[in-house]
Amino acid sequence: MTMPRHILAPYMATPADVVERMVRLAEVGEGDVVYDLGCGDGRMAIAAGRRGAHAVGVDIEPYWIEQARSNAAAAGVSARVSFEQRDALELDLAPATVVFMYLVQWSTQRVAAQILGQCAVGTRVVSHSFGFDTVAARSETFEDASGQPRTLHLWVAGDNAVGPGADPARGAST
Ligand SMILES: C[S@@+](CC[C@H](N)C(=O)[O-])C[C@H]1O[C@@H](n2cnc3c(N)ncnc32)[C@H](O)[C@@H]1O
């Protein structure tokens, strides 16, 4: 029997300069374990690998996993960065210190609930475009290199100011 697939978002690429801003916002560095949910061509995981982190990217589409592996090899980060064809909803995110995503509104909230249940206190979560709704996040809006407005949301699991149980009035800023 074929199991139903959960399509969390169509493919849309995050521009390279926005990816760089995401890794800076999450303060990714050596020692981090980064999960890239719906990795597409692997650009977020690869950017994390370039900063010395270990990263795992998952995508439900085999095509993107092939592309991501080839891009990681070209970037020279294959030793630290791996990709798996998986449903992000079936992952165990407990090892993550950083989670990246660019999904859509409903699936971002679905994944936020998964993170809330699985991730350790201090895990930094950065979402391109879509917020977490049920958890307070700090947000920043800016223009990307092509002049298009972009918003990033940061949530730190367990942080009273930016996290579960937070006062949204304290957590929100631009
Ligand atoms: C908006 S794209 C983001 C791609 C990349 N992270 C970026 O920002 O450039 C969303 C990706 O999620 C993948 N996806 C959709 N549903 C998924 C699921 N259940 N598990 C894993 N990946 C999924 C899609 O195939 C697509 O590549």
Q: What pLDDT, on a 0 to 100 scale, did the predictor assign at position 137? A: 86
Identify the DSSP state of 30. T
Which residues have C-beta atoms less than 6 Å from ligand 1? 6-9, 11-14, 38-40, 43-44, 58-61, 64, 87-89, 102-103, 128
Q: Is 53 within 8 Å of 33 (Cβ atoms)?
A: yes
Residues 155, 163 contacting (CB under 8 angstroms)? yes
Chain segment 8-44, per-residue pLDDT in tens: 999 999 999 999 999 999 999 999 999 999 999 999 9
Do residues 13 and 38 lie in contact, with contact meaning Cβ atoms separated by under 8 Å? no
The pLDDT tens digits for 56-110 are 999 999 999 999 999 999 999 999 999 999 999 999 999 999 999 999 999 999 9
